[in-house]
Structure formats: C-alpha cells, structure tokens
Structure 1
Amino acid sequence: KVDLFRTGGGPLLNKILLEARAGKNSWDVAIGRGEMILPLLERKLLASYRSPEANMISEDLVDREGFWTAYYANPYGLGFNTRMVSNADVPGSYEALLDPKWKGKKISLDTEGYGLFAGLIRVWGREKALSYFNKLAAQEPVLMRGNTSRIQLVSAGEYPLLISYPSLLQVHTSKGAPIDWLHLEPAVVLIFPVMLAARSPNPSAGKLLIDFLLSKEGQQILVNLKRVPVRKDVDADPPRLSKGYKRIVEHPEDYKDFTGVVKTYQDIFNLR
C-alpha cells in the first residue's frame, strides 16, 4: 500500500525540511519541482539510487551521482492564436519575438517565468540573457500569473502570442481551440525529479516505486495524463512534445542564486 501526500512544490519542500529539523523522516520517495533538489542535497536528505530504468533516459535528465532522475519534463515553448498569426508570421526564434510587429501587448508572459530566465542565463551567459530580456521587456508584453488563464485569453483572441508549456497548449489544441505552438531553441526544459530519501523508512519499497515510475509502463501512464515522458522508447502525444528540438535542461546549479534570478526578472519587468 502506498501512502500519498500531495501538495505543491513549495509546501512539500517545507514539510520535508521541517521534519528533518525535528529529527523525523516520514517519506520514502518525493516527486517535485527541480528547485527542490539543491536544498535537499545540501542538507544530505537524499540517497543515491540509479534505477536500472535510467538506462533508457537521456543523460541530461539523470543525475550522474544518482540523487535524482527526471520523472517527467516540461519544456517552455511559444503558443500562438492561429486566427491572428499566419504560419508565415509565427516567430520561430527568441530573436523573432523582438520584431517591432510584436510590440505593445502582443506577447503574454508569466510573472514567474524564472525557469526560462535561469535556463537561458546558463546557455547564453548572463550578459546576453540580460540584454535579451531587457529587449523583450521593451516590447511591452502582458505579464500575468499562471498558464491556463493565459492560454484561454490567447485562444479568445486577447493576445496573439504567449510563452508557456507546450504540454498545456496541446491540451487546448486537441480540443479544437484556435491555438498552436512551437519550440523556441534551445528550449528550456523544466524537470520534475523523483528522489529517494536518505533516511527512508522503506528503502527497498522506495526503489521499487522509482523503478516503476521510470518504467515503460509507468511512463505511458504519464502520456495518458498529458505529461511529457522522459524515456527514449515512450513517445509523448504528439511526439513533437519531446523530440525534434534542441534543449537545455534545468539543473540544480541554476538555483544557487535563485533569489538573485527572481529579483532580476522582477526588476526587468517592473514586477516589484
């Protein structure tokens, strides 16, 4: 029998850290956002375990030391209203978003798009990333929190473009909404890692659960739930969600100065 505790990434991390400070450990396996990894590693709360199933997962989604493995992925991409933007006019790159035609409340951005910002800092370098995001801010985008509501607004014709998650965009596309999407390269990919507790009460059972979650059967369940799987032999639905584009996968090191990343992002878009 599996006892499941479900909550958001922040509350889950806080619960684990509070238990650890009290000398307790009630969990065997945790699945959360990538930003959880570093604080758990720093406090030595993770055990090293490389599942045999990890051999079917790309190396950029697996920790070399075995402390985490991506359970599913969530790339950023560009969504667009197909009634407002022709295929010929769709911006196919980050730079294309800086075209004057997209200035003035034409692009919807998340007020907490920190993962995208951190990923592009790592791949481009800080100077280039800051220059780009300042130029993007000069395009006068619409800043809103959340993804579902922003996708609905773009579908309704409020704005022609948005940066969001293709897995969510595809849900609306599949339902017939006038919205499509593409990957901007390199696509920044957020991960949702699965991790084994260093003081797991049931380590053998925890390892078996991880094995199942990363197995072909376990990953197919994710596809049915409209998630992006990580196994090489399991295609997303549609396959272009997980294949055919250059990517940069988020890494625990991205969060070493996460407070600084958040502050800079907020300053660029005047969110404070």
Structure 2
Amino acid sequence: MSVESRDAWSPGRFVAAALAMAFVGAVGIFAIAVWQTVVYGLVTDLVWEPPLSGARQQILSTVALGLATTMTAGIYLAYTNRSLSFLDVRTPTLREAAWAIGGLVALFALLQVISVAFETFGISTSQHSTTQAAESEPSLLLPLVPLSLLIIGPGEELLYRNVVQKSLYEHAPRWAAVLTGSVIFALVHIPAYSTGGTTGELVATLAVVFTLSLVLGTVYERTENLVVPAFVHGSYNAILFGFEYLEKTAAVVVPALL
C-alpha cells in the first residue's frame, strides 16, 4: 500500500492504525526511562561521580532520549519489514530551506498568538519538568541549546513524524495523519508536564503542544524531508532554552551590577 494520501479510506482501519502508532509513541516514552537508567548507571560508574549537577543530568537525559527514539524507530522498521529507505533524510533544497525558515517563524508567531489569547482569557499552563528544575539551577539550560539541535529535534521528529505520521499516510488522507500524529505527540508529553500544574493547566499545555505540532507535521508533510522539521523543532527549542537561561540569569546578574 502506498504512503500517499488516499481519497477512499476506512475510518475503522485508520483508528486501529492510530492506536498502533499511539502504542509506538508510548514505547518511545518507556524506552527513554529505560535508557535514562542505563546511561546514568554507566556514566556514574565510569565518568562522573554522583550526585550529578542539573546540567549533567540534562545531558544524560537528552542522550537517553536520542537513544530511545532511535531504538524505537529501528525496532518499528524491523518489525514492519521496512528498509532504511523509509527514512526521509537528504540535503534540503532551497524550497525546503524556505519551509524550514517559514516553519520556525510560524512556530514563534503561533506561540505569541496563543500566549496573548491565554493571557486575555486568564488561562494558565503547566511548567515543563526542565523549567521547574531550572528555577534553582539555570545553568542546566545551557547544554540544552546545542542538544536541542543535535538530539532533541532530530530524535523526536524521527519517531513522531517520520515513523508515526508517515505510517498513518497508508491508512488515511495526509491531513488526518498530520492531525492524529500531533495528538499522539501531545499525549506523549504528559509525563514532562504532569508535575508542573493542575489538571486544567496540563490540558491547556497539551493543547499548545498539539497546535505547535501541527506546524511541524505540516512542514514534514510538505517537504517529505525529516531534516526540515528536525531543524525547525531543534532551533525552536534551542532559542527558547537560550532566552530562558538569559532571563533567569539576568535576574541575578543585573541586581549585582547595580
């Protein structure tokens, strides 16, 4: 069956495929937890003595994310008898580069619109676990700037766009695959935001993640090149982490200079 979008499709089969892809996404989250334990054990035995600083913990967690998403994608390819040609990795064309820049601009523009709307209607969001940890140790944000580009963006887009979203193309029109893939992407972020607020704030945050994910899904669908959404995602995270670090450290540095 082709991965092209279909005019005639079976909702029942699509729901089954969506549930299967949700399971793949859940496996990815479980794999991250497993790899965190493995990587932490190896590093604390061979390289760094515990307790680890927040920055080092973030490095290990991000490495675990990269290993987990890559492993999960690899297992999926093997289980479904797909070759590496299923992965859409190539040097971007000028058109795809334009989509990359446009996608990044769209993410920040959309984030601004959502922020204004939430502020207007008094809607609060929950904090990411990393943001919570950074309140007491802002330096942990620094390694996340390059790691967002090198691991977080590529790893998450590999699994949730090139595997989950693309696999759904076989069962429904592409718009439905983008929509469903974004729902799955939002849901797998529940563990990261579940401790940072109330249930209502968590729901609001997941709605934001879903909306921003639609941009990434659209960029991937239009370019059919994993490199493009990986760059957009990684750059978006890197910029946010960088500005968050500057914001938190400025509150400490500026008074000291006055």
Q: TM-score, normalised by structure 2?
A: 0.28
**Higher strand proportion (structure 1 or 2):** 1
Q: TM-score, normalised by structure 1?
A: 0.27
